[in-house]
Amino acid sequence: MANWDEVADLVIIGSGGGALTAALVAHRAGATPLVLEKADRFGGSTAMSGGVLWLPANPVLERSGGHDTIEAGRAYLNALIDDDERSPARSRREAFLQAVRPMVRMLEAETLRFYACEGYSDYYDELPGGRGSGRAIGARMISAKRLGDLADRLMLLPGWNAPVKTDEFAQLSLAGRTLGGKLMAARVAARSIRQRLDGAPLYYRGAALQARMLLSARRRGIDLRSGTQVTELISDEGRIVGVRVAVSGRPEKRIGARLGVLAASGGFARNAMLRERFQQQPVGTKWTMASPGDTGDMIIEGMRHGAAVETMAESWWLPMSLKANGAIAGFHSPQEMQKPFCIAVDSRGERFVNEAASYMEIGQAMYARNAIPAWIIMDARHRRFYPWGAVPPGVTPSSWLKSGYLKRADTLADLAAQCGIDAQGLVRTVVRFNAFAASGLDEDFKRGARAYDRCYADPRVSPNPALGALEQAPFDAIAIVPGDVGTAGGLATDEHAQVLREDGAVIKGLYACGNCAAPLFGSHYPGPGASIAASFAFGYIAARHAVGANAD
């Protein structure tokens, strides 16, 4: 097909982690990648995330003295995700495992500087192959000065610019309880002073990760275009051969792709129509912290070309509370919910989940139990000892009580009445839970039994640091809903990241990774940064396949 306005080797839609990984791979192979980002800023949801990657048997972990193997990672995933050995999902997982080492080494050969998040446990570490000390890695901090003009073009999560690594929040939240927490608070304070003296922010978490990825792309001279929306995938005899793009104030352009098109864009968290069509209710675009550009464009366009979709009912659930005006007040798993002296209950006043489980699992349990909203019920010690979001311990803003965001009462029965919870059910639940706290054994949900359950717990509480009785008034309650940081479902792909039709046939020339692709782990979430890790890995795999498959 001729009459292109311009041509690149690999056209990449989006600028998240998977997109930029693919661009680096293609450029290193001598191909010409072109990165097209719909938003005005680069980085996608990855830049707004915690910025860690869950990568079994990665070399960063090995250098830090940790021991892990591909075999252990495989055993863990097979135990967590119960499916047929012949299924495409298992072949995708194997491709992911085999890509980890070479991908990390390639990124480190660029400008990426990683550290091992030792102690940030797998979410189901009790399973065969599970690792209680974790498999996640994160990007080291970087000053905004290093980015030059790119600093003004990096997507940032509003209101979360504190210089804290994702794996440091647990210790920081215990600043009022432990020496380690106090030392971490001092470390964060020193970083804040450094920022002021330096006259530029220090980027952490997802911002640090994507800042380093952008630096790598810039140093290679990769063409990065923001404010450029792909409006159409162009096909020729069933093969995707290019895209149509729109740039504000300019005529649309047709861009050819010699080696293929990689859809590495967001999910459909901001698309009310798709959420209503595919997901459980109640759900909506107001309960998400996903990138504003997550409108499902490439999922819709892929489906128009016959692509199959999978796992569309799932999101990356994250229990959150809402202000009186409906705005998001913050997300509360695991930092607040893993702390002792609190439980989560439904309208009957009954617990329905291990409160220290992963955020994904808690969100799924809320839907399964129809606990929307659910209520976090707290003993007075919870507010006395621990922060709630960005509010320090011992502080309860008067606006919380006046607006009804926080309910407070001297008895559990009165608290239940304020929340519309069955009072007898709540009292019965608390009596039973208090017995568990005394014995250290949660007979209903095994809270505190896993290493992950104790990541954010309080070591000063015994016999189980994740359990603490609810017996000191006043008692508080805050409603939570199943928010998310993005949708999980998307275009079905094979082990090469090629998009598949309903019959399993490949749509030639079209690849997908990131939140517009179906999740690697199905409806499960194995550890911190699992979705980001899959995006990086399949961006790497897609680019290698595109270059190799077309070089024969």
Task: Band the pLDDT of 85: cuts 50, 70, 90.
Answer: low
Task: Band the pLDDT of 549: cuts 50, 70, 90.
Answer: low
Q: Please tell me whether the overall predicted TM-score, pTM, comes out greater than 0.85 for this model.
A: yes
Assign domain 6-16+225-315+488-549 one CATH number from 1.25.60.10, 3.30.420.40, 3.50.50.60, 3.90.650.10. 3.50.50.60
pLDDT tens-digit readout, 98-134: 999 999 999 999 989 999 998 899 999 999 999 999 9
Q: Domain 317-484's class?
A: alpha beta
The pLDDT of residue 342 is above 50:
yes
The pLDDT of residue 1 is above 60:
no
pLDDT at position 2 is: 66
Average pLDDT of the chain is 95
All CATH 3.50.50.60 domain ranges of the chain, comma separated, are 6-16+225-315+488-549
Please give the share of the chain, as a percent, with pLDDT higher than 70. 98
Least confident range of 145-159, 391-405, 457-471, 529-543: 145-159
pLDDT at position 552 is: 33
Query: Is there a contact between 320 and 376 (Cβ–Cβ < 8 Å)?
Result: no
Please give the share of the chain, as a percent, with pLDDT higher than 90. 89
pLDDT at position 291 is: 87
- Angstrom distances, CA of residue 271 to CA of 74, 277, 283, 433, 478: 35, 10, 11, 40, 28
The mean pLDDT value for 167-174 works out to 94
All CATH 3.90.700.10 domain ranges of the chain, comma separated, are 317-484
pLDDT tens-digit readout, 290-321: 988 899 999 999 999 999 999 999 999 999 99
- Of the chain, the end-to-end C-alpha distance in Å amounts to 21
Angle at 78 between CA 76 and CA 81, to 5 degrees: 105
The pLDDT of residue 551 is above 50:
no
* DSSP designation for 42: B
* CA gap 214, 288 in Å, rounded: 26
pLDDT tens-digit readout, 404-437: 999 999 999 999 999 999 999 999 999 999 999 9
Q: Is 157 exposed, middle or buried (0-12, 13-18, 19+ CB in 10 A)?
A: middle
Q: Are strands 6-13 and 52-54 parallel, antiparallel or unpaired?
A: unpaired
* DSSP designation for 461: S
* CA gap 526, 530 in Å, rounded: 6
